[in-house]
């Protein structure tokens, strides 16, 4: 059964990544790029799509989590506003949601959490260089998968990931549970246990689909979209 997966708008200075579409189409999905989401079009968007990915991109505005901007860059308020409307609607609708990198950070902010605006400047315990953009398609560091999580159902207890972010979750948002942490205790994945499928990962599995555990993450998401569509 083919499902339709909607990608949140990638309207910011980092541009459109083809990797989400490539990875999902390889799993038999129809993939659509969403326009800016507003209260006027959100109901139709929810009705015609089976699952959603909050994509990666530039930093979100720290005002979304109650802080003044110290280190966030390349902010696009139109995209922020669109993603906030989408994320809130998805949480309320119980539609399958996979939030990747920026997407996970935005999900956390929508749930009342906060971010380190820059790990190297604000978290002295951070020992890993988490912003290795030149290695975006490679394994860079390990993360520990926590038990009794969706990731634990499909992944070993320790996996390798890529890492291209300089921000990360500081205070965890309401309703979110930690699903994975790096070796320097940065939150690397979250989930909402009271929802059918809300999962956030700080790395980019769509760039690592040649590795079984990352392809399994995308497949688990697609499988849930198929179950809810049936």
User: Residue 17 in contact with residue 55, Cβ under 8 Å?
Assistant: yes
Beta-bridge partner residues of 99: 54, 200
Q: How many residues does the chain have?
A: 230
Beta-bridge partner residues of 31: 5
- Let me know if 206 is a catalytic residue: yes
188, 191, 206, 224: the active-site residue: 206
Query: How far is residue 192's CA from residue 213's CA, in Å, rounded to a whole number?
Result: 20
User: Residue 50 in contact with residue 4, Cβ under 8 Å?
Assistant: yes
Query: How far is residue 85's CA from residue 57's CA, in Å, rounded to a whole number?
Result: 17
* Nearest alpha carbon to residue 205 among 167, 162, 166: 162
Query: How far is residue 219's CA from residue 186's CA, in Å, rounded to a whole number?
Result: 25
29, 101, 126, 155: the active-site residue: 101
204, 214, 224, 225: the active-site residue: 204
User: Residue 10 in contact with residue 16, Cβ under 8 Å?
Assistant: yes
Query: How far is residue 209's CA from residue 97's CA, in Å, rounded to a whole number?
Result: 19
Tokens 């205790």, residue?
185
Any idea which residues carry the catalytic annotation?
101, 204, 206
């Amino acid at each position: 059964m083919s499902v339709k997966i909607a990608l949140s708008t990638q309207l910011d200075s980092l541009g459109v990544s083809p990797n989400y579409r490539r990875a999902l189409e390889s799993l038999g999905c129809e993939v659509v790029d969403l326009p800016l989401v507003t209260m006027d079009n959100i109901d139709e968007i929810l009705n015609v799509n089976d699952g959603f990915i909050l994509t990666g991109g530039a930093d979100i505005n720290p005002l979304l989590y109650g802080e003044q901007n110290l280190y966030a860059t390349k902010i696009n308020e139109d995209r922020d506003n669109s993603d906030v409307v989408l994320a809130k609607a998805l949480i309320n609708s119980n539609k399958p949601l996979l939030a990747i990198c920026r997407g996970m950070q935005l999900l956390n902010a929508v749930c009342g959490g906060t971010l380190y605006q820059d790990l190297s400047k604000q978290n002295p315990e951070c020992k890993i260089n988490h912003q290795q953009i030149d290695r975006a398609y490679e394994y860079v560091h390990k993360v520990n998968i926590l038990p009794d999580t969706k990731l634990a159902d499909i992944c070993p207890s320790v996996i390798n990931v890529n890492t291209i972010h300089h921000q990360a979750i500081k205070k965890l948002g309401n309703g979110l549970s930690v699903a994975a942490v790096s070796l320097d205790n940065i939150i690397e994945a979250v989930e909402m246990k009271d929802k059918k499928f809300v999962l956030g990962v700080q790395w980019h599995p769509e760039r690592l689909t040649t590795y079984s555990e990352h392809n399994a993450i995308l497949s688990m998401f697609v499988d849930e979209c198929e179950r809810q569509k049936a």
